């Protein structure tokens, strides 16, 4: 299909003829409507980072395994390891609460551009524009909240050329219902991650709870009952064929398809190499320790998975940018835009400054960008520095209002839960190794003049050895153990905090960043904001025949396309679906990423597929479509032309890792778990037929398309 993560609000503006030709049978109203129930009511944002969908009238929700991973880890112990073994609640009472986890259900979205820009003209000075826009956004969001009834915020689109209001109900009682064993839900591990062909049962299940009036509660409540959604998706057992219509509804996180060539170049040769190198180091050290100790393996499982996920993403993105010459393509596009602008005085006046300003700003940014990357990925790549940063509100309170006992107590209270959470998954000896290695790289790779003071201390007092300095920090800092942190919190003083070597290290990095690096970058970025806005406006004005979709920004989008194979590279063609046969082919009991649980092996060897077999008698596992998605779409429903669930989107493919920066219709695919494999894992492998029976299973003949 075409590029595009579209705002469902505008589904009527999409090419209806094209959608119908591809197989869509639903009306625009059935897809998005504020007044009657529509597809949008079945799709939720999970925890701000993933997507889920309702599959029963009792609030039962499907999402990916990697979206539920943290919750699964939290409920696991070495003795009762549900992450490893899988788990399906036999009764509602067995469903597990997850304080802090929430889902947002969209009430409505609205184009409020003209209201936000009221009083703004093309000549309004930038600072004034920012103030007006911020004020209007706040007013509109505040009004939409209706005194706390809703969560509401404004997001800009097209680099600040348009503004939209989003109004949600937020449900703070989301309980874990089930998941397959990790060996199924993460089958293939990091080796298969971001790759096709895939054999992963990447799903988990939750249930959203509400009060007796079906209203959201902020936290889990014992007397809550299952939420009754306005709409839940029927589930189709029909299965997919090449060319079938497919629609993906969800909350894509971030794309940067309007990033100028200079920005791409900076990502390619500065940011990504730094991230890859630092994550590579961190992951290796974590893994060494995880392999030594099962308890530690469990503690670090979730952090490891999320750091590894984007480590591989950056590698793939850089490989792809080189192979596809993404920067050159963008340069060519900019050259032609520049020509178009120069051909007309009016255009010169309106957009003339954009490209020059952009290129100058990036030249400036390149001088500081590495520092910013190393603050994020080296200093904050260590856990002790991250914990120290959490002390900032308390630190500021102790410093500015040292006699205000109530304020200090409030800051302490705010730390209690995060500190408990933090130490649940912490090993100071592991962190010490990471600290030693990452900070040494920071000192080596970042321009000397931009290093924080602590590097001089290490040079002068520790002979330049981060190992020696780490000995000192991890022996003397109270930030290395929960008991010591709690002792400090029981009687916090400014002197104690300021003297703590862990906090001192953080503070040195922080002060250097906020005083010497950030202000310079912010000045450059302020200029960029305006230039980017003009650049995007110029592009759209030039290419009037092209309908642009706004970059992803964690708001509800739909993408439509078809089930479709692809050509990966010269002489390599990929089929559009995988089957259980591939699980047996990949199976390797000596490699933890490819272990197949005993029960699954037995069932697959007996070909015990039940009603989930495809028409050739195989068990379908995954399939690909050409829907345009990105991170945050994880868990999104893949819906056929009749609005029935056929799969769960869970990944993208290696050949199109540059997709967040530039879209290539021939290469980019969306990787989905076939819903029949999901149901097989619940019913046959998990023995939880009661969960499948809660769903509305339909059999309406082949998918349209
Ligand atoms: N690449 C997937 C995404 O970002 C996450 C897959 C998780 N699986 C894994 N093996 N780490 O959506």
Tens-digit pLDDT profile for residues 162-206: 999 999 999 999 999 999 999 999 999 999 999 999 999 999 999
Instruction: Mark whether 202 is an active-site residue.
Output: yes
* pLDDT reported for residue 15: 84
From 185, 186, 190, 193, give the residue whose CB has the most ligand 1 atoms within 8 Å, as the site to mutate: 193
Mean pLDDT of the chain: 97
Residues 250-263, mean pLDDT to the nearest whole number? 98
Catalytic residue among 65, 66, 136, 232: 66
| Range of weakest confidence among 11-25, 146-160, 562-576, 644-658 | 11-25
Supply the DSSP symbol for 216.
Answer: -
- Nearest atom in ligand 1 to the alpha carbon of residue 188 is 10
673 three-state secondary structure:
strand
Residue from 219, 107, 211 nearest 168 by CA:
107
From the list 56, 371, 634, 636, the catalytic residue is 634
Q: What is the CATH number that goes with domain 8-102+172-256+551-698?
A: 2.40.10.120
* Helical spans, DSSP H, in 375-517: 383-390, 392-400, 405-424, 428-445, 454-461, 466-476, 482-490, 494-499, 501-512
C-alpha–C-alpha distance, residues 524 and 527, integer Å? 5
Q: In this predicted model, what pLDDT tens digit does every residue of 611-655 receive, in sequence order? A: 999 999 999 999 999 999 999 999 999 999 999 999 999 999 999
pLDDT average, residue stretch 139-159: 97
Taking CA atoms only, the protein residue closest to ligand 1 atom 10 is 189
Read off the pLDDT of residues 565-583 as tens digits, 9 standing for 90 and up: 999 999 999 999 999 999 9
Distance 315 CA to ligand 1 centre (A): 14
What is the Å distance from ligand 1's center to 687 Cα?
26
Atom number in ligand 1 closest to CA 310: 4
Task: Residue count of the chain, please give it.
Answer: 705
Confidence of residue 543 (pLDDT cuts 50, 70, 90): very high
Q: Can you tell me the mean pLDDT for 269-280?
A: 98
CA dihedral 530, 269, 510, 488 (to 10 degrees): 130
Domain layout of the chain by residue ranges:
8-102+172-256+551-698, 106-171, 261-533
pLDDT tier, 14 (very low <50, low <70, confident <90, very high otherwise): confident
Q: Is the pLDDT of residue 16 over 90?
A: no
Residues 488-538: tens digit of each pLDDT: 999 999 999 999 999 999 999 999 999 999 999 999 999 999 999 999 999
Q: What share of the chain in percent tops pLDDT 70? A: 100
The residue nearest atom 6 of ligand 1, judged by CA position, is 193
| 588 noted as active-site residue | no
CB of 186 shorter than 6 A to ligand 1: yes
Q: State whether residue 142 is helix, strand or coil.
A: helix
**1: pLDDT strictly greater than 70:** no
How many angstroms is it from 673 CA to the middle of ligand 1?
13
Active-site choice (156, 202, 244, 628): 202
Residue 25: helix, strand or coil by DSSP?
Answer: coil
Provide the token pair at 250: 């969800």
Average pLDDT value for residue range 361-366: 98
Atom 4 (ligand 1): residue with closest C-alpha?
A: 631
Does 62 or 699 have the greater pLDDT score?
62
Ligand 1 neighbourhood includes 660 CB (under 6 angstroms): no
What is the reported pLDDT for 17?
Answer: 87
pLDDT of 12: 86
Average pLDDT value for residue range 431-443: 98
| Mutate which of 66, 179, 302 for ligand 1 pocket (most atoms within 8 A of beta carbon) | 66
User: Which among 289, 255, 260 has a CA at the least distance from the CA of 553?
Assistant: 255
Q: How many CA atoms lie within 13 A of 211 on its CB side?
A: 7
Closest by alpha carbon to 549, among 561, 565, 531, 567? 561
Distance CA(507)–CA(514), nearest Å, equals 10
| 476 CB neighbour count, 10 Å cutoff | 13
Residue nearest to atom 12 of ligand 1 (CA): 651
Ligand 1 contacts CB of residue 586 (under 6 A): no
575 is catalytic: no
Work out the pLDDT band at 431, boundaries 50, 70, 90: very high
**Could you tell me if the CB of 305 is within 6 A of ligand 1?**
yes
């Amino acid at each position: 299909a075409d590029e595009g993560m579209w705002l469902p609000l505008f589904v009527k503006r999409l090419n209806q003829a094209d959608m119908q030709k591809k197989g869509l049978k639903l009306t625009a109203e059935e897809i998005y409507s504020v007044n009657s129930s529509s597809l949008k009511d079945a799709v939720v944002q999970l925890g701000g980072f993933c997507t889920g969908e309702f599959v029963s009238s009792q609030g039962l929700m499907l999402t990916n395994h990697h979206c539920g991973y943290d919750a699964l880890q939290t409920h696991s112990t070495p003795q009762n390891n549900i992450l490893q073994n899988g788990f399906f609640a036999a009764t509602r009472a067995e469903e597990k609460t997850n304080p802090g986890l929430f889902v947002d259900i969209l009430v409505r979205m609205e184009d409020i551009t003209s209201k936000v820009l009221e009083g703004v003209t093309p000549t309004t000075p930038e600072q004034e524009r920012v103030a007006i826009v911020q004020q209007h956004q706040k007013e509109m969001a505040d009004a939409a909240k209706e005194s706390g009834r809703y969560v509401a915020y404004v997001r800009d689109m097209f680099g600040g050329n348009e503004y939209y209001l989003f109004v949600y109900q937020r449900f703070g009682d989301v309980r874990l219902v089930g998941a397959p064993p990790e060996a199924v839900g993460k089958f293939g591990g990091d080796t298969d991650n971001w790759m096709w062909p895939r054999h992963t049962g990447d799903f988990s299940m939750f249930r959203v709870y509400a009060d007796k009036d079906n209203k959201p509660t902020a936290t889990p409540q014992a007397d809550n009952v299952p939420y009754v959604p306005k709409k839940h998706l029927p589930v189709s057992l029909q299965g997919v064929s090449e060319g079938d219509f497919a629609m993906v509804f969800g909350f894509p996180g971030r794309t940067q398809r309007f990033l100028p060539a200079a920005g791409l170049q900076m990502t390619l040769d500065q940011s990504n190499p730094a991230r890859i190198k630092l994550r590579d180091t961190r992951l290796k050290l974590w893994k060494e320790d995880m392999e030594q100790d099962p308890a530690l393996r469990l503690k670090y499982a979730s952090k490891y998975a999320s750091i590894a996920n984007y480590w591989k993403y950056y590698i793939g993105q850089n490989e792809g940018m080189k192979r596809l010459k993404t920067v050159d393509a963008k340069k060519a596009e900019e050259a032609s835009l520049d020509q178009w602008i120069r051909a007309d005085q009016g255009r010169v006046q309106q957009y003339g400054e954009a490209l020059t300003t952009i290129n100058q700003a990036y030249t400036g940014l390149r001088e500081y960008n590495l520092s910013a990357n190393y603050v994020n990925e080296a200093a904050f790549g260590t856990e002790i520095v991250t914990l120290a940063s959490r002390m900032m509100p308390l630190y500021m309170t102790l410093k500015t209002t040292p006699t205000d006992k109530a304020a200090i107590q409030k800051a302490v209270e705010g730390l209690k839960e995060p500190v408990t959470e933090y130490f649940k998954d912490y090993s100071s000896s592991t962190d010490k190794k990471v600290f030693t290695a990452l900070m040494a790289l920071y000192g080596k790779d970042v321009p000397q003049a931009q290093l924080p003071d602590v590097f001089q201390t290490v040079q002068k007092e520790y002979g330049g050895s981060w190992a020696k300095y780490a000995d000192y920090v991890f022996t003397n800092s109270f930030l290395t153990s929960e008991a010591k942190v709690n002792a400090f919190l029981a009687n916090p003083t400014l002197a104690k905090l300021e003297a703590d070597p862990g906090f001192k290290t953080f503070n040195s990095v922080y002060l250097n960043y906020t005083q010497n690096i950030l202000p310079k970058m912010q000045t450059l970025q302020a200029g960029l904001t305006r230039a980017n806005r003009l650049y995007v406006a110029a592009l759209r004005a030039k290419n009037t025949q092209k309908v642009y979709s706004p970059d992803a920004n964690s708001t509800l989008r739909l993408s439509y396309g078809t089930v479709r194979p692809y050509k990966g590279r010269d002489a390599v063609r990929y089929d559009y679906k995988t089957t259980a046969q591939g699980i047996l082919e990949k199976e390797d009991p000596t490699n933890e990423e490819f272990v197949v649980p005993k029960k699954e092996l037995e069932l697959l060897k007996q070909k015990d597929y039940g009603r989930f077999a495809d028409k050739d008698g195989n068990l379908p596992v995954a399939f690909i479509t050409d829907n345009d998605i990105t991170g945050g779409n994880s868990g999104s429903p893949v819906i056929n032309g009749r609005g029935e669930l056929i799969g769960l989107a869970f990944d993208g493919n290696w050949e199109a890792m540059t997709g967040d920066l530039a879209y290539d219709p021939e290469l980019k695919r969306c990787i989905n778990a076939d819903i029949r494999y999901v149901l097989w894992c619940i019913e046959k492998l998990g023995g939880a037929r009661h969960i499948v029976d809660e769903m509305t299973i339909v059999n309406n003949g082949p998918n349209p398309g």
